[in-house]
């Protein structure tokens, strides 16, 4: 009897065959998927542009190798997109983002970043659908929604802009940029009353938000409310508008190798009150360009304001060593040393600074102040005159010189200087107050009244104590009060 063949080779169970097939199919699908992803990455890689910075070139090279690998092509592409975007290679970044949108269609970051570049290039028609997609994918990411609203607004699509700003407010009730946006839409429609309400809300909730404050001043001006306009104008002072924070975009700076670009962002961060972030960026600038004095000066300026005087001094000493004609760095070093109460060092610094920057008006002005403190009036006058000659746009040295002459009863000379100062800085509050004072001194009542009513009363920046002093002088001289 023939042996049973079936007994020697056990029949494979059907389940095992199916499982094996599934494993093979899964492996094939996984390989196919990986190949597909790599194929997309490789086919979308832009030619690598020449990089000015060697570290950037290395980073681009490494990211490119990753992108071409079988293991981490998407990681490489993401890295490339960041490097390109952050370093101003926008066409290359767009190419990466288009591929990333295909590879990760559920990731809102890619359409958002792509939209930001397209909007930057003025292509709102292309930016809007991408930003809209980003908002659909990440409805909680407020910056994308704000940008979409702004893109509508800049495209004359006021109703859509307003609706989108409204959706922001539904999520973040007092978002200052949304409130400002709604007010701008209202003003575009000629609805000034409508604009006032969101602006008031924005200013109340964010008393430091210059965007709403300055537009509120405009609204007050529009309604002829000069008093409130002026109060708000004074509150704004020299502060600047700061754009909205957009973490997905802002974090790209970590991959920027353009030191100047980083220094600008650092300045914005500092204005926005993020001193530590600003200083971290400036340290990066210094690491990238250790021989550039300007970044050290900027860093030192921040440190000075933060109270880190030794740190500021250290940076400034390096800065003036690197660039001996950087008068701003010298001035700051002098001020830091004064603040440290190291007066001998400060005095020596000022002399060294003037030797290196003999045409610096601000250094001559500081020297004049130093000489005044030492009671050396003639030398002070000489320095003030030098300061004026070196910076024709600044009336301050002339005003100080005029003050010096007034102290010596040389009123005519003082008036001549003040006229010159006013030609440089019309309606300068100190100069017009001093002109009024000169008229009082010389008994020119009509002149005093003219300067008082036509200039001092119309210049809100004249300090109140100066006005009071003028009123007192006038009363004493002419026996009646100023109108």
Partner 1 sequence: MIPAVRPRVLLAAVAGAAALLAAGCTRSKEETALKLGHAPIVDDLGRFTPEAVGAPVSDNPWISHVSIVDLDQDGLPDILATDDRLNAIVWLRQVRPGKFEEAVLYGDLPAVVHVEAVDFNHTGHLDLLVACMGQVFPNNDKIGSVIILENDGRQHFIKHVLLDHVARVTDVQAANLAGHTDGKLDLAVAQFGYIQGEIRWMKNLGGWKFESQNLLNLSGTINVCCADLCGQGHTDIVAVVSQEWEEVVLFRNDGSGNFSPSVLFGSTNEDYGSSGISLCDLNRDGRPDILYTNGDGFAYADPGTRPWHGVQWLENRGNGVFQYHRLGNLAGAYAPVGVSLDNDGVMDIVCVSGFNDWRDKKAASLVAFKNDGKMNFTMHVLAHEPIMQVTCAAGNLDNSGLPSIVTGGFAAYPPFERMGRITVWRQKPKAR
82-121: contacts with partner 1 (CB under 8 A): 88, 90-91, 94-95, 97-99, 101-102, 114, 117-121
In the complex with partner 1, which residue's Cβ is closer, 371 or 433? 433
**Per-residue interface string for the shown chain with partner 1, residues 321-360, x marking contact by CB under 8 A:** ----x-----------------------------------
Residue 53 binding partner 1, by CB under 8 A: no
Given candidates 188, 347, 376, 442, which one binds partner 1 under the rule CB under 8 A? 188
Beta carbon of residue 24, minimum distance to partner 1 (angstroms, whole number)? 5
Region of 234-242, 344-352, 371-379, 439-447 interacting with partner 1 (CB under 8 A): 234-242
Three-state SS annotation for the chain: CCCCHHHHCCCCCHHHHHHHHHHHHHHHHHHHHHHHHHHHHHHCCCCCCCCCCHHHHHHHHHHHHHHHCCCCHHHHHHHHHHHHHHCCCHHHHHHHHHHHHHHCCCCCHHHHHHHHHHHHCCCHHHHHHHHHHHHHHCCCCHHHHHHHHHHHHHCCCHHHHHHHHHHHHHHCCCCHHHHHHHHHHHHHCCCHHHHHHHHHHHHHHCCCCHHHHHHHHHHHHHCCCHHHHHHHHHHHCCCCCCCCCCHHHHHHHHHCCCHHHHHHHHHHHHHCCCHHHHHHHHHHHHHHCCCCHHHHHHHHHHHHHHCCHHHHHHHHHHHHHHCCCCHHHHHHHHHHHHHCCCHHHHHHHHHHHHHHCCCCHHHHHHHHHHHHHCCCHHHHHHHHHHHHHHCCCCCHHHHHHHHHHHHCCCHHHHHHHHHHHHHHCCCCHHHHHHHHHHHHHCCCHHHHHHHHHHHHCCCCCCCHHHHHHHHHHHHHHHCCCCC
In the complex with partner 1, which residue's Cβ is closer, 130 or 313? 130
Given candidates 10, 12, 341, 480, which one binds partner 1 under the rule CB under 8 A? 12
Given candidates 57, 169, 205, 236, which one binds partner 1 under the rule CB under 8 A? 236
Number of residues that bind partner 1 (CB under 8 A): 84
In the complex with partner 1, which residue's Cβ is closer, 117 or 402? 117
Given candidates 154, 382, 450, 477, which one binds partner 1 under the rule CB under 8 A? 154
**Per-residue interface string for the shown chain with partner 1, residues 438-467, x marking contact by CB under 8 A:** --------------------xx-x------
Given candidates 69, 107, 155, 347, which one binds partner 1 under the rule CB under 8 A? 155
In the complex with partner 1, which residue's Cβ is closer, 281 or 440? 281
Beta carbon of residue 409, minimum distance to partner 1 (angstroms, whole number)? 29
Beta carbon of residue 479, minimum distance to partner 1 (angstroms, whole number)? 31
Beta carbon of residue 397, minimum distance to partner 1 (angstroms, whole number)? 16
Given candidates 151, 175, 380, 383, which one binds partner 1 under the rule CB under 8 A? 151
Beta carbon of residue 403, minimum distance to partner 1 (angstroms, whole number)? 21
């Amino acid at each position: 009897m023939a042996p049973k063949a079936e007994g020697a080779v056990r029949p494979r169970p059907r389940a095992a065959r199916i499982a094996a097939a599934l494993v093979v199919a899964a492996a094939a699908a996984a390989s196919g998927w990986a190949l597909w992803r790599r194929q997309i990455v490789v086919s979308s890689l832009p030619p690598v542009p020449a990089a000015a910075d060697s570290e950037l070139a290395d980073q681009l090279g490494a990211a490119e190798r990753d992108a071409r690998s079988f293991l981490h092509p998407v990681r490489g592409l993401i890295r490339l997109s960041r490097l390109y975007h952050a370093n101003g290679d926008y066409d290359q970044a767009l190419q990466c983002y288009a591929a990333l949108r295909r590879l990760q269609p559920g990731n809102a970051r890619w359409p958002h970043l792509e939209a930001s570049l397209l909007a930057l290039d003025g292509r709102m028609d292309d930016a809007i659908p991408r930003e809209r997609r980003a908002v659909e994918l990440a409805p909680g990411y407020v910056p994308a929604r704000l940008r979409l609203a702004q893109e509508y607004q800049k495209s004359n699509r006021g109703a859509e802009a307003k609706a989108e700003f409204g959706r922001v407010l539904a999520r973040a009730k007092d978002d200052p940029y949304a409130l400002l946006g709604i007010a701008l839409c209202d003003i575009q429609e000629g609805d000034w009353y409508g604009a006032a309400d969101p602006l008031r809300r924005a200013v109340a909730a964010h008393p430091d938000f210059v965007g709403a404050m300055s537009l509120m001043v405009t609204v007050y001006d529009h309604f002829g409310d000069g008093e409130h306009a002026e109060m708000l104008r004074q509150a704004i002072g020299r502060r600047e508008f700061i754009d909205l924070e957009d973490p997905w975009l802002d974090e790209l700076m970590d991959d920027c190798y353009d030191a100047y670009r980083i220094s600008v962002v650092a300045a914005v961060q500092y204005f926005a009150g993020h001193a530590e972030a600003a200083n971290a960026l400036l340290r990066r600038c210094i690491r990238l360009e250790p021989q550039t004095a300007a970044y050290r000066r900027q860093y030192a300026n921040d440190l000075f304001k933060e109270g880190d005087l030794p740190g500021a001094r250290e940076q400034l000493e390096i800065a003036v060593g690197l660039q001996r004609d950087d008068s701003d760095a010298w001035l700051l070093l002098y001020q830091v040393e004064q603040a440290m109460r190291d007066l001998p060092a400060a005095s020596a610094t000022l002399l060294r600074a003037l030797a290196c920057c003999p045409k610096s008006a601000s250094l001559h002005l500081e020297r004049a102040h130093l000489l005044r403190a030492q009671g050396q009036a003639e030398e002070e006058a000489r320095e003030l005159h030098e300061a004026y000659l070196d910076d024709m746009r600044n009336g301050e040295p002339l005003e100080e010189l005029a003050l010096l002459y007034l102290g010596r009863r040389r009123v005519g000379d003082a008036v001549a200087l003040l006229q010159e100062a006013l030609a440089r800085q019309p309606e300068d509050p100190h100069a017009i107050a001093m002109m009024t004072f000169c008229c009082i001194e010389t008994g020119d009542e009509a002149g005093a009244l003219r300067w008082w009513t036509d200039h001092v009363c119309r210049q809100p920046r004249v300090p109140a104590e100066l006005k009071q002093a003028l009123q007192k002088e006038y009363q004493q001289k002419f026996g009646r009060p100023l109108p």
